[in-house]
Chains A and B, each alone.
Chain A
Amino acid sequence: DVKVTQSSRYLVKRTGEKVFLECVQDMDHENMFWYRQDPGLGLRLIYFSYDVKMKEKGDIPEGYSVSREKKERFSLILESASTNQTSMYLCASSRGQAYTEAFFGQGTRLTVV
């Protein structure tokens, strides 16, 4: 079974804290994605990576950065958390350029207070 695992299901952080969200996949997938999901807005792409050490901005990268030092791990970093970053964060992975399926992690519900 394909597995995409996010490090935390729920997180509560204070404004201004540096926050790390970790995602690990066990299927040797080249592509990894970070989305946030908000009511009425759907899934919005923050960053994605198609190879180790490669990253590309998605639609809403402001306030976020990412790291991909190993193929199986893709980290999302909130440099200085703000209340408007309270959201559900979803990680996904897929194989190659012509992928026909992307697999999602269970999500991290982040609350910034």
Chain B
Amino acid sequence: GQNIDQPTEMTATEGAIVQINCTYQTSGFNGLFWYQQHAGEAPTFLSYNVLDGLEEKGRFSSFLSRSKGYSYLLLKELQMKDSASYLCAVRLYYGNNRLAFGKGNQVVVIP
């Protein structure tokens, strides 16, 4: 089985930096994804980590530590449009590399 944990909600101010954590306990870890989902819309891909370390992509960065079963997504220079749910997902070796999701972290950006 697998267990993927994320905090449920956080509020942050426009222009600030927010860190969204994800911890996982899975068998057959084979990569971690972050997705953004605005209310009523489909999830859209943000980042992918398979090796330890930081991946940077503009205002978004994602970090992975496989030994700790831990990842975070860092959002810098927050904008109002960043208000969304952020989903952490683990790709699993077994079951033909299926994708298992956490419950998502709702980020609310306030002026």
Number of contact residues on A: which range applies? 20 to 34
Give 1 or 0 for each of A42-67: 1 = CB within 8 Å of chain B CB. Answer: 11110010100000101100000000
By a CB distance below 8 angstroms, the chain A residues around B95 are 48, 56
Assuming the contacts A42-B102, A42-B104, A43-B87, asked whether A104 and B42 have C-beta atoms less than 8 A apart, the reply is yes
Whether B42 and A97, one on each chain, are in contact in the complex, defined by CB atoms closer than 8 angstroms, is no
Chain A nearest CB, measured from B88 CB (Å): 10
Specify which of B40, B44, B97, B102 is in contact with A98 (CB 8 Å cutoff). Answer: B97
Knowing A90-B43, A97-B97 touch, does A42 contact B87 (C-beta < 8 A)? yes
With contacts A90-B42, A102-B45 known, is A43 near B101, CB below 8 A? yes
Once A41-B103, A42-B103, A43-B87 are accepted as A-B contacts, the answer to whether A97 and B41 lie under 8 Å apart by CB is: no
Q: Using known A-B contacts A90-B43, A107-B42, determine if residue A102 contacts B87 with beta carbons closer than 8 Å.
A: no
CA distance A99 to B40 in the complex (A): 26
Q: Determine whether the beta carbon of B31 is less than 8 Å from that of A100.
A: yes
Q: Are B99 and A45 in contact (CB under 8 A)?
A: yes
Q: Are A48 and B33 in contact (CB under 8 A)?
A: no
* A102 CB contacts on chain B under 8 angstroms: 33, 45, 99
Q: Closest residue of chain B to A109, judged by CB?
A: B40
16 contacts between A and B (CB under 8 A): A31-B97, A33-B99, A43-B43, A43-B104, A48-B96, A48-B98, A50-B96, A50-B97, A59-B100, A90-B42, A94-B99, A102-B33, A102-B45, A104-B44, A106-B42, A107-B40
Query: 6 tightest A-B contacts by CB?
Result: A42-B103, A104-B42, A43-B101, A50-B96, A100-B48, A101-B45
Residues of chain A touching chain B, judged by Cβ–Cβ distance below 8 Å, are 31, 33, 35, 40-45, 48, 50, 56, 58-59, 90, 92, 94, 97-107
- Chain B positions within 8 Å of A, measured between CB atoms, are 31, 33, 40-45, 48, 50, 87, 89, 91, 95-104
